Amino acid sequence: MKKFAIVIFALLAFGITTQAQCRAFTKNRVLPNLSGYIQNENYNAALFMEGDESEVLMTFYGGKNYRLVVMGHPVLPDVEFEVLDTNDELLYSNKNAENKTVFDFRMVNTQQLKVRVKVPDTGGTLVHQGCVTIVAGHKE
Amino acid sequence: MVVVILAGYMNLTSCSGCQKTKQDQPAMDNKKDSMDQARVEQLKKIFFNIPSPVEMASLIKKEGFSYDKKLLNKVESVDTYVGEAKQAVNLGIYGADLSYASIFDQKQECMKYFAAAKKLATAMSIDGGINDSIVAKLAEQQENRDSILKIVTGAYADLNGYLKENNRVEVSALVISGGWLEALYLSLTYAEKSNGAAIKTRVAEQKMVLENLLNYYSSFADRPVLNDMKNDLLAIQKVLNQVEITSQKTTVTKADDGMMVIGNGGKASMKDDTMKALMDVVKQIRTKYIS
């Protein structure tokens, strides 16, 4: 009975640990890319499978410089992300960018922008799943 | 036997990066559709963002205004907050106060507000974000404003991450709402002063932020713990609906330093009587939560 309880406890502990992996991934792999910028306190990270996509609407204030960092776990193919205005006009895509994970920009006026992320589907037999994180930081 | 159970569990459990074979997935089209929709809804609750209270505070400082300790929610009130909703909102309020104190280099005040936030987080059984090691780190960095800001914003981001990953997304929504409410209150106080024009514009721009926040609330099915705050936000929206926002076609150019510049967008304007009405409703709502 004691051995059974230990096994169940280990399974539960393992589950809790895996749920925290996106936070650890964000802290250790993503946030260092925000160096020099003040991080926004919102948390935007989740497990994505190949083919998953999501979008977040963000408000950026006029007169400020921002950095957007969008990163996926290395097990995933390169995460694609776009920045669009609220009329769905494409303002930026990382597809042809030299740096695929960081986008620096300056806002003239305050505006809401959509950040759309997608994990490409490689069509293989193995389905990869990993954390995808979006963080934003600002400076004057 | 233990190894077999663990191996089986590892196959089923998510991890920060792993792989499964497509043959392991159920081949039932109906189930796939409902699972996709469930995942879409789940991601909507996680992927949400409004500007940080730090941004409002930094504008207040940039416009040449001074720190006013009397504006903030008293740390001594922390023990009076009972119930998850009130605790969560005040955790957000203290977070905004902490951001304000950090921007103005009020190191001792930062320590007090951080301690109050930690007390609330502990009372709410939140293990992530604000803990003893972070408090110690903050104490060590008291001479370095940038480091303090990094610790404070990092702690709150991690706290929100902890809540989302432990199925307490509603609590995260309340923390964020409390922070937004307090930042709005502080900004309104300065917007009313002469030379407060830039802050008044920033307050008017909250019409966009609030719309996003209320859309976020609507992504939850009816959750009693969110009802009070939702109704309060709707009352604020009733006033902010009087704000005019003009929009123009967005432009993207490259500055001489190579930075991408996103231009045009919208301009927000707010009449003085709207601002007064806004302050009245915000004060009333804030008083309800902090007393």
Round to whole Å and give the CA distance between B283 and B114. 23
Report the candidate in A117, A136, A133, A54 with the shortest Cα–Cα distance to residue B43: A54
Bridge partners (DSSP) of residue A113 are A58, A85
Structure tokens at A125: 């037999």
**Which residue among B10, B55, B202 sits closest to A138, beta carbon to beta carbon?**
B55
DSSP, collapsed to helix, strand or coil, labels residue B174 as helix
CA distances from B28 to A38, A63, A88, B34, B179 (A): 46, 51, 34, 10, 44
Distance linking the first and last C-alpha atoms of chain B: 56
Chain B interface, best mutation among A9, A17, A29, A42, by max B CB count within 10 A: A42
Q: What is the pLDDT of residues A88-137, one digit of tens each?
A: 999 999 998 988 999 999 999 999 999 999 999 988 888 889 999 999 99
Specify whether the CB–CB gap between B268 and B201 falls below 8 A.
yes
CA distances from B202 to A37, A40, B57 (A): 21, 17, 11
Structure tokens at B287: 């008083």
Specify whether the CB–CB gap between B272 and B197 falls below 8 A.
no
State the smallest CA–CA distance between residue B92 and chain A in angstroms: 11
Report the candidate in A60, A68, A54 with the shortest Cα–Cα distance to residue A131: A54
Can you give the pTM of this predicted structure?
0.88
Round to whole Å and give the CA distance between B287 and B291. 6
Report the candidate in A64, A72, A80, A60 with the shortest Cα–Cα distance to residue A120: A80
* Largest CA-CA distance found in chain B, in angstroms, rounded: 74
Return the sign of the alpha-carbon dihedral for residues B247, B235, B231, A59. positive
CA dihedral B78, B79, B84, B85 (to 10 degrees): -50
Q: By the CB < 8 Å criterion, does B264 face chain A?
A: yes
Check residue B138 and give its pLDDT. 86
- Burial category of B285 from C-beta neighbours within 10 Å (exposed 0-12, middle 13-18, buried 19 and up): buried
**Number of Cβ within a 10 Å radius of residue A123:** 8
Structure tokens at A15: 């589950």
Return the sign of the alpha-carbon dihedral for residues B142, B145, B196, B113. negative
Round to whole Å and give the CA distance between A51 and B44. 16
Q: How many CB pairs under 8 A join A and B?
A: 212
Per CB-CB distance under 8 Å, the chain A contacts of B160 are 41-43
Contact B262/A126, CB-based, under 8 Å?
no
pLDDT, tens digit only, all 291 positions of chain B: 544 444 444 434 446 777 665 444 443 333 444 447 888 888 888 899 999 999 999 999 999 999 999 999 999 999 999 999 999 999 999 999 999 999 999 989 999 999 999 999 999 999 888 888 888 888 887 778 888 899 999 999 999 999 999 999 999 999 999 999 999 999 999 999 988 999 999 999 999 999 999 999 998 877 899 999 999 999 999 999 999 999 889 999 999 998 999 998 778 999 999 999 999 999 999 999 999
ipTM of the complex model: 0.88
Residues 85-114 of B with CB under 8 A from A: 95
Structure tokens at B270: 């707010």
Q: List the single residue in A with minimal CA-CA distance to B255.
A: A106
Residue with tokens 């950095």: A67
Q: What is the pLDDT of residues A10-63, one digit of tens each?
A: 444 444 444 468 999 999 999 999 999 999 999 999 999 999 999 999 999 999
Structure tokens at B253: 């150019």
Residues 56-115 of A with CB under 8 A from B: 56-62, 64-65, 73-76, 85, 87, 89, 91-92, 103-113
Cβ neighbours of residue B245 closer than 8 Å, sequence gap 6 or more: B204, B205, B207, B208, B266, B267, B268, B269
Check residue B89 and give its pLDDT. 98
Return the sign of the alpha-carbon dihedral for residues B98, B104, B109, B111. positive
Contact A112/B202, CB-based, under 8 Å?
no
DSSP, collapsed to helix, strand or coil, labels residue A125 as coil
Please give the DSSP secondary-structure letter assigned to residue B205. T
Contact A138/B52, CB-based, under 8 Å?
yes
Contact A112/B52, CB-based, under 8 Å?
no
Please give the DSSP secondary-structure letter assigned to residue A36. T
Q: What is the pLDDT of residues B182-230, one digit of tens each?
A: 999 999 999 999 889 999 999 999 999 999 999 999 988 778 999 999 9
Q: List the single residue in B with minimal CA-CA distance to A35.
A: B150
